[in-house]
Amino acid sequence: MAANNRISEVVIRRLPLYYRHLESLEKSGVTRISSAELGEQIGLTASQIRQDINFFGAFGQQGYGYNVRELKTHLAGILGLDRGYHMIVVGVGNIGRAILNYQSFYDRGFRIQALFDANPALHGTRLRGIPVAPADTLEAYLSKHAVDIGVICTPREFAQQTADILVAGGVRAIWNFAPVQISVPPQIPINHVHLTDSLLVLSYKLAHSEQAALPSEEDF
C-alpha cells in the first residue's frame, strides 16, 4: 500500500463513493465490473478510477475487471471498516440525534457509547438506550474510557472548548458539525461538516444556472 502522505485528500474522499457503489452492486448480484462500467455509473473516467485504486495495490485483472466483492472487501480495509470504533456525541440536539439514530453507522462498526449535553432537562434521559450525561462530566468520562471519535454537535460558541477537552482526553479524531472552524493539533484528524455551507454551494449553482439561462441582448 502507498504511504499515507502520498495519497491526496481528493482521492481519499472518493474512496467512500467507490465503496458505497460496490456495496450496492454486490447487493444487486453483480459479481464483476470493469473500470469503464464503474466510471460510467458514478461519473468518473475509467483511468481516474484505476489510478485511485492502484494507489493501494493491484486489485483488478486486465480483460476481467474487478471482482466486486473482493474490491469492496479491500476498500473496507483501506477505509478502516474492518474494525470497530468507540464514538461519543457532545450535543444531542437535532443533528446529534440524527447521527445517533443513523443505523448505517452502527452497521459499519461505528458505535456511539456515550452522549453529553449542557441542557439539564436532558440529563438522565435515554436516547437509543444511552443515558445523556451532563457536558461537564465529559472530562471524567474521557479519563476512564478510550474514545476513537468525538462528534461535536454543540452551538458554535462551545465547539472549540469541546474540541480542546476531547483532545486533552485522548480522543483520536473529531467529527465537527458545529457551524464554525475549530483548531486541533496536526496529529488529530478532523472533518468539518457544515450543512449551511453545503446548501449555499447548491444555491450558488442554482443562481448561476438561472443567470446562464437568461437571454442576452443578442437574443433580441
Domain edges within the chain: 4-78, 85-197
In this prediction, residue 71 carries a pLDDT of 93
In this prediction, residue 210 carries a pLDDT of 62
Three cell numbers written together for 146: 478510550
Sign of dihedral through CA atoms 88, 91, 95, 96? positive
76-105: string of b/e by CB count within 10 Å (b at 16+)? bebeebeeebbbbbbbbeebbbebbeeeeb
pLDDT digits (tens, 9 = 90+) for 108-151: 999 999 999 999 999 999 999 999 999 999 999 999 999 999 99
Residues 6+ apart with CB under 8 A from 180: 156, 159, 160
Short-list 170, 200, 202, CA closest to 187: 170
| Residues of the chain falling short of pLDDT 50 | 1-3, 220
In this prediction, residue 220 carries a pLDDT of 44
Q: Which CATH class is domain 4-78?
A: mainly alpha
pTM of the model: 0.86
At the topology level, CATH places domain 85-197 in: Rossmann fold (3.40.50)
